[in-house]
């Protein structure tokens, strides 16, 4: 087996390769990109992928914390796919880039996971 085959079949990826990866809706439209990952440093789980949505050159962007399990990697797109339409995304919980500390708040975290109908990572 060649190195390329080994790399492509390995499920592990470094966080710096995930950041900047495009996010698509189910119709195949690009809706944003992964700005950052939020990790549970004690439990070792990815808690959120924070997606940047809209804006131009960083102006007017919204940041949406998505439960990690709501993203599916699509190899042909070399990006992640979420089952959300634009209206659902516009109504989703948002953050400013300077507000990532809000993700440490249990009540806010519950509201994010509830919006997406996902089981919180801490369960």
CATH of domain 16-115: 2.30.30.240
Q: What is the helix (H) or strand (E) element at residue 109, kind and residue range?
A: helix 106-115
> Full-prediction pTM beyond 0.75?
yes
Residue spans per domain, the chain: 16-115
pLDDT digits (tens, 9 = 90+) for 71-84: 999 999 999 999 98
pLDDT digits (tens, 9 = 90+) for 40-71: 888 888 999 999 987 655 566 789 999 999 99
């Amino acid at each position: 087996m060649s190195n390329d085959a080994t790399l492509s079949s390995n499920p592990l990826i470094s966080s710096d390769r995930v950041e900047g990866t495009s996010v698509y809706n189910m119709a195949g439209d690009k809706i944003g990109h992964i700005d950052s990952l939020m990790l549970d440093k004690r439990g070792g789980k990815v808690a959120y992928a924070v997606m940047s949505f809209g804006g131009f050159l960083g102006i007017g962007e919204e940041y949406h914390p998505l439960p990690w399990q709501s993203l599916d990697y699509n190899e042909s797109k070399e990006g992640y796919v979420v089952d959300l339409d634009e209206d659902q995304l516009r109504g989703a919980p948002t953050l400013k880039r300077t507000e990532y500390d809000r993700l440490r708040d249990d009540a806010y975290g519950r509201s994010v996971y509830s919006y997406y109908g996902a089981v919180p990572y801490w369960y």
